[in-house]
Amino acid sequence: MSREKQQGGGGGGGGEETMMSSLNETIEREEREELEKEGASHSSLKSLLWHGGSVYDAWFSCASNQVAQVLLTLPYSFSQLGMLSGIMLQIFYGILGSWTAYLISILYIEYRTRKEKENVSFKNHVIQWFEVLDGLLGPYWKAAGLAFNCTFLLFGSVIQLIACASNIYYINDHLDKRTWTYIFGACCATTVFIPSFHNYRIWSFLGLGMTTYTAWYLTIAAILHGQVENVSHKGPNKLVLYFTGATNILYTFGGHAVTVEIMHAMWKPQKFKYIYLFATLYVFTLTLPSASAVYWAFGDQLLDHSNAFSLLPRSGWRDAGVILMLIHQFITFGFACTPLYFVWEKVIGMHDTKSICLRAVARLPVVIPIWFLAIIFPFFGPINSAVGALLVSFTVYIIPASAHMLTYKSASARQNAAEKLPRFIPNWTVMYVVNAFVVVWVFVVGFGFGGWASMANFIKQVDTFGLFAKCYQCPPKISASNNHTATLHH
């Protein structure tokens, strides 16, 4: 029996602590070597703006990644759910999402600790979720993780492009939304030049500032606007709409597809454990007031307006919010695409290439299908719900909880776990009960009922607007000749 196992009682003894210390030293050494290569003359400035890996960087990345375009669709979800259900489900799925992000962080540390024992170096390699599943549970789990994660990230990127076109239309409607999608597809393709999540420090910081402004603009503008005449708050009044709204909220707190990559970019990834929870608590201060205020002001009108900007009167404040959200959606597009870039690089054997330009050219084929799908399915809110039910359910909730249970199913695995149980979980039985609840609840309510409702709503949008819709949910334009005729009749 190895010395680690002999000393490994109580959830990881001296041998495991030694291994964790070795892991810390390895990560810090690799980080120092990388910074030294940049040269002393400019490394401090580059580190400040470009090369992030602290706990704060991870917090900004998680919080910024959670609240992108979904901030604008939550009032639409409230109109489907009603005020009480909307608030309660946000809190419930926020806690559930934080729990499964914690599980993912534990599995990452377990995987990396085991690989460090085998003297595996990750100096020029970014660990991804499907690799963690492969190392801990085998190739079938790798295939499942890869399929769900990549599809989720693909459609997550599609949603960002749709949102860009939807938002800019409220400032400049001279071009239709489809044309704006062409333009922003080209703009977002420039994210191929951002090497990894190490390099999102300044972007994450700015992105969270932008969504904070937009959230509080929505809140204050809705309150100042007041309730529209004959406002009604009938929701929930249809089962299909209720579960569509619920899955959109499930999607809101499902930014886990990039959790492992964010952790790997940290200097000390063991400190990630509770970062997602703290990020979620901040996100609550943005999503709950804004969604509640806009729904209070406009009520059931939101059922036909999946973008909250569409109901607020145009002003300088609103235009500023639109522009800031556009910039943030560019950042979020990069967040969603970067793991896809990594996967593609590994497939074609370019992941170890140090030339940024060469890697950028190699990444371009990833952007093309995203661009194309955004033009085919320009349905802003309904796609959020469909992705939430069919992809986020598994990627964010079911697979992490199931993987955690299977990884630690044996007594020896539990005894030699790289991380101890959290203080609020007294024993492994309670841990298994919580994980089993997550799997069953999300499979039945999120994937089952949510999948049925969101697909029914999505098909309805296709039947109503058709594929390749030129301007989804655009108000009808009154031509100059019609205006002249109306004036004569008057």
pLDDT, tens only, 409-425: 999 999 999 888 988 89
Q: Which of 83-87, 300-304, 464-468 has the highest mean pLDDT?
A: 83-87
Q: What pLDDT sits at residue 192?
A: 84
**pTM score of the predicted model:** 0.80
Q: What pLDDT sits at residue 483?
A: 46
Q: How confident is the prediction for the chain on average, in pLDDT?
A: 81
- Provide the residue type at 268 as one letter: K
Cis peptide bond N-terminal to 195, omega within 30: no
Per-residue pLDDT tens over the stretch 380-395: 556 766 777 888 889 8
Q: What pLDDT sits at residue 3?
A: 37
| Contact status, residue 148 vs residue 136, Cβ threshold 8 Å | no
Per-residue pLDDT tens over the stretch 147-201: 998 888 888 888 888 878 777 877 777 777 778 888 888 888 888 887 776 677 7
Distance CA 103, CA 99 (A): 6
Q: What pLDDT sits at residue 2?
A: 39
- The distance between the two most distant Cα atoms of the chain, rounded to a whole number of Å, is 96
Residue 397: pLDDT over 90: yes
Which of 7-16, 133-142, 470-479 has the lowest average pLDDT?
Answer: 7-16
Q: What pLDDT sits at residue 264?
A: 85
Six-digit token string for 305:
């307006």
- For 111, other C-beta atoms within 10 Å of its C-beta total 22
Per-residue pLDDT tens over the stretch 62-82: 888 887 778 888 999 999 999
Residue 50: pLDDT over 50: yes
